[in-house]
């Protein structure tokens, strides 16, 4: 880079000092995570140095390979090991340390003398025959390419074979990833909620490295399943969720955590069997070479009976995850016993994976079967809204009450998917995102209240509003969002689903009217449990035996998490086009399948 002299020197000194400090940090920091991150700093500084020296290709290679692959692997291994006790022994000085110090110092001095004594300009790097070619070259990359294919041909071939083997292995696993209008919303939601959930869990006092590793594993599983364009990859990512949730639940959960974790695993794994059968069936159907790609599977038409079979198979798996009654009973236990950061991920994202799967696989791949089953979907969704909203006031446990409210809100998504109208599907996607925010926020606030008061049963709580006014305010605002107050995203989502049912061309007017009325009953039931939950927790006047040292209001961290969720909720409520602009075209593309001329 042609920078003026002083700036160049300054950058040199700055990067050099960063490098040296990072190196010292790698060796001397007691916590292995910190030293792994210092290694990353060193490698980044080296690549910046390469940029200063005009070697862009090497700098990029450094970043991609060293930082992106090798350092990540090191951090992965360190986090997984979770050996938090080892670093306390680092201050012992052994014989091995003395020998290493001697060797390293002598190598250092040797390098110093050798580098300064060599005359670099005297070495000719090219042979005669290449000099004509080199006069026309201007960029580094081209020069490196020339040298690799002429002087260093044999090593290049050798390394290429190794690299090729590695790449084939990686491709065989990674297959195809792609994002379109339906998945971009959930992917953004995942990133947002996972970050906030990890922030919400600070400080993790027990096995924190394993906790964060499991959070990241769940993150990759969720993003992987939302962005996979390949059925087998989808299945692998789906399964990737199971073990982290089991561990998160059983290590950091409440009193009945083992029971809930086992229930979760059995339900979800049982559903996944059907998923695997469906995936293999589609992939191996009708052709000699198995193909799992979404595009080709979507363009292929299956006989109706086969479609129905596959549809039911996939539907069972997604019904467990979504959840759809009557397969929802794992959810109150799991959400009731998990730590609130896990609950945020579960309620915010995991449930949406089921709904996303319904749209992505059941609607795109099996349009005939979907239009046969859609009336049933609508009926089940409507019943789900009312059933869950009626069960929720009967819960004594605060988190179980919010869990049933999650089940109730998922009913709207099911109705939107079953309505086969683009308004309805857009509304379902908006409800996916809106409920992701609201459910996560409610669980977060319930968890922070539990942290203060250490009581789970609502009838033992009361009168907290005076002591924790900020939590009271945010809890009230988010309960209002949950009961679909206009001006917030929940209302827009439910309204658009309403309109979706009404504008659907597939159903008779009478059924539409009946369904609308039953959904409106759900509108009456929702405030009942939300407001009575608020009343039981916050209003009234009660003296507590809770030790006062825990009973302070929410600090900046919790306020940040609550406001970070509240702002998108209100923004989407006022301008829902933020979400609709992402999903409209893809929704149209999916639904054009249903209304094409060849559709019976």
Partner 1 sequence: MLIVVTSISSLVHLYSISYMSEDPHRSRFMCYLSIFTFFMPMLVTGDNSLQLFLGWEGVGLASYLLIQFWFTRLQADKAATKAMPVNRVGDFGLAPGISGRFTLFQTVDFSTIFARASAPRNSWISCNMRFNAITLICILLFIGAVGKSAQIGSHIWSPDAMEGPTPVSASIHAATMVTAGVFMIARCSPLFEYPPTALIVITFAGATTSFLAATTGILQNDIKRVIAYSTCSQLGYMIFACGISNYSVSVFHLMNHAFFKALLFLSAGSVIHAMSDEQDMRKMGGLASSFPFTYAMMLMGSLSLIGFPFLTGFYSKDVILELAYTKYTISGNFAFWLGSVSVLFTSYYSFRSLFLTFLVPTNSFGRDILRCHDAPIPMAIPLILLALGSLFVGYLAKV
Contacts with partner 1, residue ranges (CB under 8 A) = 463, 465-466, 476, 480, 485-487, 491, 495, 498-499, 502-503, 509-510, 512-513, 516-517, 520-521, 523-524, 526-528, 531-532, 535, 538-541
Residue 53 or 513 with smaller CB distance to partner 1? 513
Per-residue CA distances from 307 to 235, 272, 315 (Å):
19, 18, 12
Instruction: Show the tokens assigned to 74.
Output: 């090191």
Of 120 and 541, the one with the shorter C-beta distance to partner 1 is 541
What DSSP element (H or E) covers 20?
Answer: helix 5-28
Long-range contacts for 142-150 (Cβ within 8 Å, ≥24 apart)?
Answer: 144/57
**Minimum CB distance to partner 1, residue 531 (Å):** 5
Full DSSP string of 205-266: -SSHHHHHHHHHHHHHHHHHHHHB-BHHHHHHHHHHTHHHHHHHHHHH--TTHHHHHHHHHH
Nearest to 378 by CA among 408, 410, 419, 409: 419
244 vs 462 by CB, closer to partner 1: 462
Which of 151-190 are b and which e, b meaning 16 or more Cβ less than 10 Å from the residue's Cβ? eeeeeeeeeeeeeeeeeeeeeeeebeeeebbbbbbbbbbb
CB of 79 to partner 1, least distance (A): 45
Which residue, 516 or 564, has its beta carbon nearer to partner 1?
516
Q: How far is the CB of 583 from partner 1 (least distance, A)?
A: 21
Distance in Å, CB of 180 to partner 1, minimum: 29
Minimum CB–partner distance for residue 141 and partner 1 (Å): 57
Q: Are 312 and 153 in contact (CB under 8 A)?
A: no
Residue 168 or residue 520: which is nearer to partner 1 going by CB?
520
Residue 155 or residue 394: which is nearer to partner 1 going by CB?
394
Given the complex with partner 1, which of 363 and 537 has the nearer CB atom? 537
State the minimum distance, in angstroms, from the CB of residue 21 to partner 1: 50
Kindly report the backbone phi and psi dihedral angles of residue 142, in degrees, each rounded to the nearest multiple of 5, phi listed first: -70, -40
Q: Are 506 and 368 in contact (CB under 8 A)?
A: no
What tokens were used for 464?
């907290």
Cβ proximity to partner 1: between 163 and 513 the closer is 513
Residue 326, preceding peptide bond in cis (omega within 30° of 0): yes
Task: Please state the closest distance from residue 448 (CB atom) to partner 1, in A.
Answer: 20
Shortest reach from residue 498's CB to partner 1, in Å: 5
């Amino acid at each position: 880079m042609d920078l003026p002299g002083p700036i160049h020197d300054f950058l040199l000194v700055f990067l050099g000092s960063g490098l040296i400090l990072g190196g010292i940090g790698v060796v001397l920091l007691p916590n292995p995570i910190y030293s792994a991150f210092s290694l990353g700093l060193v490698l980044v500084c080296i690549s910046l140095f390469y940029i200063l020296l005009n070697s862009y290709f090497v700098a990029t290679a450094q970043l991609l390979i060293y930082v992106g692959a090798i350092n990540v692997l090191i951090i992965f291994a360190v986090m997984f090991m979770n050996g938090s006790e080892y670093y306390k022994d680092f201050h012992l000085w052994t014989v091995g340390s003395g020998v290493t110090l001697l060797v390293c110092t002598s190598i250092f001095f040797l390098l110093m003398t050798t580098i300064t004594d060599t005359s670099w300009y005297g070495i000719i790097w090219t042979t005669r025959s290449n000099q004509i070619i080199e006069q026309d070259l201007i960029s580094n990359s081209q020069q490196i390419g020339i040298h690799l294919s002429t002087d260093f041909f044999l090593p290049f071939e050798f390394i290429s074979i190794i690299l090729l083997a590695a790449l084939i292995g990686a491709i065989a696993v990674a297959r195809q990833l792609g994002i379109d209008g339906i998945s971009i919303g959930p992917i953004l939601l995942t990133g947002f909620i996972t970050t906030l959930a990890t922030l919400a869990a600070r400080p993790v006092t027990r096995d924190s490295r394993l906790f964060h590793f499991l959070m990241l594993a769940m993150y990759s599983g969720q993003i992987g399943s939302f962005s996979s364009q390949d059925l087998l990859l989808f299945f692998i990512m789906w399964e990737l969720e199971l073990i982290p949730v089991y561990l998160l639940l059983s290590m950091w959960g409440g009193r009945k955590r083992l029971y809930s974790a086992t229930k979760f695993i059995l339900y979800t794994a049982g559903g996944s069997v059907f998923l695997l059968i469906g995936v293999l069936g589609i992939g191996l159907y009708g052709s000699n070479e198995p193909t799992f790609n979404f595009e080709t599977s979507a363009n292929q038409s299956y006989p109706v009976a086969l479609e129905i079979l596959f549809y039911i198979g996939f539907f069972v798996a997604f019904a467990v995850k979504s959840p759809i009654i009557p397969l929802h009973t794992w959810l109150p236990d799991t959400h009731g016993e998990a730590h609130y950061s896990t609950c945020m991920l579960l309620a915010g994202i995991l449930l949406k994976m089921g709904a996303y799967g319904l749209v992505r696989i059941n609607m795109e791949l099996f349009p005939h079967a979907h239009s046969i089953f859609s009336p049933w979907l609508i009926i089940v969704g409507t019943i789900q809204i009312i059933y869950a909203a009626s069960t929720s006031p009967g819960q004594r446990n605060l988190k179980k009450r919010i869990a049933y409210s999650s089940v109730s809100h998922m009913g709207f998504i099911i109705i939107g998917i079953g309505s086969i109208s683009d308004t309805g599907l857009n509304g379902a996607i908006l409800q996916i995102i809106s409920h992701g925010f609201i459910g996560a926020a409610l669980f977060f606030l319930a968890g922070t209240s539990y942290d203060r008061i250490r009581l789970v049963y609502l009838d033992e709580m009361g009168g907290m509003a005076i002591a924790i006014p900020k939590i009271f305010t945010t809890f009230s605002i988010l309960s209002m969002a949950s009961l679909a107050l206009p001006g917030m995203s929940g209302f827009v989502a439910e309204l658009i689903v309403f309109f979706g049912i009404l504008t659907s061309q597939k159903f008779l007017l009478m059924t539409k009217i009946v369904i609308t009325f039953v959904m409106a009953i759900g509108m009456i039931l929702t405030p009942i449990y939300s407001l009575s939950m608020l009343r039981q927790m916050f209003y009234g006047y009660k003296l507590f035996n809770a030790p006062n040292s825990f009973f302070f209001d929410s600090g900046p961290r919790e306020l940040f998490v609550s406001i970070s969720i509240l702002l998108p909720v209100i923004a989407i409520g006022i301008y829902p086009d933020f979400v609709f602009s992402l999903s409209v075209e893809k929704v149209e593309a999916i639904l054009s399948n249903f209304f094409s001329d060849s559709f019976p």
